[in-house]
Amino acid sequence: MYEFLTGPMVWVAFGVFGIGLTVRTVLYLRGLDWKLDRVTYSRNIPFGIKGAARSVFFWLIPLGTRSWRNNPLFTFAVFAFHLALIMGPVFLEAHSILLMERWGVGFWSLPAMVSDVLTLMVMITSLFFILRRFGMAEVRLVTSFYDILVLGIAVAPFITGFMAHHHAGSYKFWLYAHILSGEVMLMAIPFTKLSHFLLFFLARIQIGMDFGIKRGGMKSKGMVW
């Protein structure tokens, strides 16, 4: 089972992940109206590039936008969750060892204690998100089982990995559950809200370019927007 989960199943998971995200990107780009304001856009490309860069940059900085500043606690939880969600799997020592065994490549690894802290950050912030969804009326109204399921898919690899690392119960069970849940998460990304890790950048670039080009184009003609 271990050989299957860390061999063919990994290729299937990464294949679905890669192909799925490629398709999502193509569909997103094809859905844009490239004919809209074509003359304005073609003449103000530098403003568009600058606007796209500013849009992505400030949204990647805690409290860098008005929306972040208006919700400081939520902002802290979002950044802590995503930081741990990315750094944990990429720089986990066990993952680096597995990559070295399978494909002869590896990453610099974090100390085990730091990995535990990152895992706990994911679990604590995810609990905060759930409590927020059910505790705030305006958020509860737009919450469905799907939202909880997607969050569960994202958090499951961390819970199972934490249990396996600390040998809670059956190590083999938690190890297999950890590997399988990680692969399920990879395959789910292109088809669920988890795809926002890519679509976020595409949307911010699109909005930033649109804002930068139109505002820049107005200013270049002596107008203030």
DSSP for 134-177, please give it: HHSHHHHTT--HHHHHHHHHHHHHHHHHHHHHTT-S-HHHHHHH
For the stretch 183-215, pLDDT in tens is 999 999 999 999 988 888 888 887 887 777 766
- Domain holding 91, by residue range, is 2-217
Contacts of 10 (CB under 8 A, 6+ apart): 102, 183
- For range 80-104, the mean pLDDT: 79
For residue 22, the domain's CATH number is 1.20.950
The answer to whether residue 69 is domain-embedded is yes
Whole-angstrom CA distances from 222 to 42, 44, 215, 217, 219 are 19, 14, 11, 9, 5
The answer to whether residue 222 is domain-embedded is no
pLDDT for residue 222: 37
36: left (phi over 0), alpha (psi -120 to 50) or beta: beta
pLDDT for residue 218: 44
Whole-angstrom CA distances from 212 to 32, 51, 57, 101, 179 are 17, 4, 14, 47, 44
Looking at the structure of the chain, the number of domains it has is: 1
Separation between Cα atoms, residue 48 and residue 67, nearest integer Å = 22
The answer to whether residue 12 is domain-embedded is yes
| pLDDT for residue 52 is more than 60 | yes
**φ, ψ for residue 165 (rounded to 5)?**
-60, -35
**φ, ψ for residue 77 (rounded to 5)?**
-65, -40
Tokens of 202: 């595409």
DSSP state at residue 36: T
pLDDT for residue 77: 93
Separation between Cα atoms, residue 31 and residue 197, nearest integer Å = 19
The answer to whether residue 45 is domain-embedded is yes
Helix/strand/coil (H/E/C) assignment for every residue in 56-84:
HHHHCCCCCCHHHHHCHHHHHHHHHHHHH
pTM for this prediction = 0.80
The answer to whether residue 224 is domain-embedded is no
The answer to whether residue 55 is domain-embedded is yes
Higher-confidence residue: 202 or 108?
Answer: 202
R_g of the chain computed on alpha carbons? 21
The answer to whether residue 113 is domain-embedded is yes
Which of 54, 50, 26 has its CA nearest to residue 198?
26
The sign one gets for the Cα dihedral 108, 201, 151, 186 is negative
How would residue 176 be classed by pLDDT, with cut points 50, 70 and 90? very high
Separation between Cα atoms, residue 111 and residue 161, nearest integer Å = 15
The answer to whether residue 223 is domain-embedded is no
